[in-house]
Amino acid sequence: MSDSYDVVVIGGGPGGYAAAIKATHLGQKVACIDKYINKNGKPALGGTCANVGCIPSKALLDSTWKFHEAQGELSVHGIDVGNVSMDVAQMIKRKDDIVEKQTGGVAMLLKANGVTWLQGTGKLVAGKKVEFVPHDGDAQVLEAQNVILATGSSPIELPMAKLQEDIIVDNSGALEFTEVPKRLGVIGAGIIGLELGSVWSRLGSDVVVLEAMDAFLPMVDKQVGKEALKNLKKQGLDIRLSARLTGTTVKDGIVSVEYTDADGEQTMEVDKLIVAVGRRPITEDLFSVDSGVNLDERGFIFVNQSCATDVPGVYAIGDIVRGPALAHKATEEGVMVAELISGHHAEINYDCIPSVIYTHPEVSWVGLSEEQVKAQGDEYKTGMFAFVANGRAVAANETTGFVKVVSDVATDRVLGVHIVGPQASEIIMQAVIALEFGASTEDLQLMVFAHPGLSEVLHEAMLDVDGKAIHSVKRKRRK
C-alpha cells in the first residue's frame, strides 16, 4: 500500500504538530506520524513536553508551591489555614487530567485542520520515502514531497545508575511518585533536576542534588546563578557541586549512592534517586544509511540555518538538531519549515530565544550574559534593579531577586537580560521583544510602564544602565 502526501512529519511533539498544522494552513496535504504510547497504553500526541515534561512538571510545581504557601507564607496576608496536608494521589491525578486535556487538545487540532494522524513509527528511506509501521498493522510506504523529522530527545542514561522500577528514575518516573520520599537524591543540577527537586522538597523530602560541574547553572549570568543558588538552598535543597557520581547500589528498597567530591569518596543513602543529567537526540532507526541524511560531530542531524538537511525536501527540527532543547524553539522551527516548504520567506533569530527555570523564584534569560560579552572583548555596561524596591512585589510579598541588563557601550543596544524573581518567565518576553527589534536601553528608558507592576523592575534596570534609576539609593554617577 502506498499513500502520497505533500508533507510527512515524523514526530507529534511541539515542533512536529505545529509544523503539520501550519502546513495545512498553507494548503498542504499532511500526515503526522507519532509512536508515543502513554501510561494508560493509549497513543498520545504532544511529545515529551505535554506528556512527561513541560506541562506535567509545571502542574506539580504549581500544586506544591500552593502547599508551601499554605504552610506558612500566607500568614503575612492575615490568612490562617491551620494544619494543611497534601493528598499526593489527588495531586498526581490533577497532573494526569491536565496532561490528558493537553494531549487531547493536540489531537483535536490535528483533526480540525485536516492532518492525518498515523499511529506508529516512521523511518526515512532512500528516495525521500517514509516507511510507516502502524502499532497494529503492516508496514506501508508513504510518498512525500517533503519530510520533516521531529522526533525530539530522551533522557541520558548513566551506566552507574541504571533505571530500576520506581526507585532509580528519570524525569518521567519522578512525576509518578505515589508518596513523598523521605530522602531524595537528584543527579544533575540543571533545569529538570532543580524543578523536580523543588517539587518534592516542598512536600517534605530531604533533597540532595549532586552536580558534577564546579559551577552552578554555568549557562546563566553568574550573578543570577549565585542568587538562585542562595534561595534554593534557603528553601532546603542541599546542592553539592563538584560531586561526581561513581556508582549506585539498590538493596531492600534503599539506594546507596557513591560519589566523589573535593574531600574524596563519599556515600549517601536515599529512598528515591532521580537521574537528570541531560537529554540526547532520538535518531536511532529514524533514517536509513542510504537516505542521504547526515549527523554532525555531536550526533545531531546536520541542518543549515533553515533546518534543511543534506537531502533536498527533508528537514529536521527541535531537539534532534543544533541549539537548545526547548519546546518553544522546536515549535518555531516547525512553523518556519512549513512556511519555507510552501514558498514563503521565514527565519528564526536564534539570538532571541528565551530560557526559563520554573523554580521559585523563577530564573529566565535571553541574549548574552556579562561573562559572554566580556569574553568577546566588547565594551559593555550593566544595570540592575531589585524586586525588593518594587511596590507590586512588596504588595505580593514576592521581593526576592532582581533584573540585570547588559548593553553595548558604543551603540547602547541591549545585548542580554537576566532575571531571577517573581514571574521572571513572563517579564522576560518584554526583553525578547526588545532584542528582536534591536532596541537600545534608552528606547526602554523612555517607555511608560504601568504602575504598580513587576515589569517596572525591568524599566528601572534599563535606567540603571546609565545611572538614571529613580527608586535607587545607590545611584550611579552619570557621565
Residues annotated as part of the active site: 451
Q: What is the three-state SS of 113-153? A: CCCEEEEEEEEEEHHHEEEEEECCCCCEEEEEEEEEECCCE
Which residues are within 8 A (CB) of 9 and not within 5 positions of it... i.e. 6 or more apart?
16, 17, 19, 20, 23, 30, 31, 32, 33, 147, 148, 150
In the beta sheet, which residues pair with residue 440? 413
Cell numbers 501510561: residue: 39
Which residues are within 8 A (CB) of 32 and not within 5 positions of it... i.e. 6 or more apart?
8, 9, 11, 12, 16, 17, 20, 45, 110, 115, 116, 117, 118
Locate all alpha helices (DSSP H) within 139-214, ordered by sequence.
171-174, 191-202
Q: What share of the chain is helix, strand, coil (3-state, %, to 5)?
A: 35, 25, 40
Q: Give yes or no for a contact between 109 and 46, defined as CB atoms under 8 angstroms apart.
A: no
Helix (H) or strand (E) holding 403: strand 402-408
> What does the alpha-carbon distance between residue 374 and residue 116 come to, in Å, rounded to a whole number?
50
Which residues are within 8 A (CB) of 315 and not within 5 positions of it... i.e. 6 or more apart?
146, 147, 148, 149, 303, 306, 307, 308, 309, 337, 340, 341
Look up residue 43 and give its DSSP letter: B
Q: What is the three-state SS of 283-307? A: CCCCECCCCCCCECCCCCECCCCCC
Question: For 274, what's the count of Cα atoms within 13 Å in the CB-facing half-sphere?
Answer: 33
